Amino acid sequence: MTQDHSALLAQLDALKSADGGAVFAELIRAGLQALIEAEATAAIGAGRYERADGRTVHRNGHRPKTVSTTSGDVEVGIPKLRAGSFFPSLLERRRRIDRALHAVIMEAYVHGVSTRSVDDLVAAMGVQSGVSKSEVSRICAGLDKEIEAFRTRSLAHTTFPYVFCDATFCGSSDLMGVLG
C-alpha cells in the first residue's frame, strides 16, 4: 500500500508543477492506467505481486501504447502475460485514437472542415502525433455509411397525416438577363 501511496504523492507533485493541459493529460493517463490494471487483475485472478489460488497466469511486464485523447497524447502500459495475451476492452486494437477524439474528427468533417485541416485542428488540441488525411477519410467513411442508411431507411412503419415539403430556389443569371 505504501508503494501506491508514494506513487500518488509523486503524481500530485507533478500535477501541481505542470500547466493546465498537462494536468488533464496526466489525469487521463492515470485513470486509463488504473482501469487497465484493474481489468488485468480481474482477468488474471490476482493483483500484482499477489499470490492466490485462483491465479490463472503471471504478469510479464508492460508494453507501451500511445493513445491520442482530446487532451493530447498519453502513453499507457498494457500488461503482458507469460502465457496468452491481454488487451483491455477500454481501448481498441490497432487504433491509437480514443472515442472522444474520434467524435471530434467526425464532427469537424460534418461541419465542412477539410480532411487536411482536421490535422491542424487535432494538433491544436495537443495531439503531437497528428492524424493523416487518409485516416480522417477512413474514420468518416463509416459516417458516410450511417448517413446513407439514414437517408434510405423505410418509413412504411407509420402513417404521416401531413407532409411538409421544403425547397430552396436559387436563381441564376447570364449576360442577357436573369433566368429562372
Q: How far is CA 30 from CA 37, 74, 129, 142, in A?
A: 10, 9, 20, 31
Task: Tell me which of 2-16, 30-44, 145-159 is least confident.
Answer: 2-16
> What is the SS3 assignment for 173?
strand
Q: Where are the domains of the chain?
A: 1-91, 97-152
108 pLDDT exceeds 70?
yes
State the pairing for strand pair 177-179/72-81.
unpaired
Q: How far is CA 156 from CA 103, 159, 164, in A?
A: 31, 7, 17
pTM of the model: 0.53
pLDDT above 90 as % of the chain: 0
Q: Which three cell numbers stand for residue 76?
A: 499507457
Encode pLDDT of 90-103 as tens digits. 777 766 666 777 78
Encode pLDDT of 119-149 as tens digits. 788 777 777 677 777 888 887 887 778 888 8
Angle CA(58)–CA(62)–CA(68) in degrees, nearest 5? 140
Q: Which three cell numbers stand for residue 35?
A: 482501469
What is the per-residue pLDDT for 173? 65
Going by the DSSP 8-state scheme, the letter that residue 97 receives in this structure is: B
Q: Output 100 or 36, whichever has higher pLDDT.
A: 36
155 pLDDT exceeds 80?
yes
31 pLDDT exceeds 60?
yes
Q: Residue 68: which of 12, 11, 114, 25 has the closest Cα?
A: 25
1 pLDDT exceeds 50?
no
Q: How far is CA 43 from the centre of its chain?
A: 24
What is the rounded distance in angstroms from the CA atom of residue 167 to the CA atom of residue 6?
66
What is the rounded distance in angstroms from the CA atom of residue 105 to the CA atom of residue 133?
11
4 pLDDT exceeds 80?
no
Encode pLDDT of 159-179 as tens digits. 888 888 888 777 666 666 655
Q: What is the mean pLDDT of the chain?
A: 78
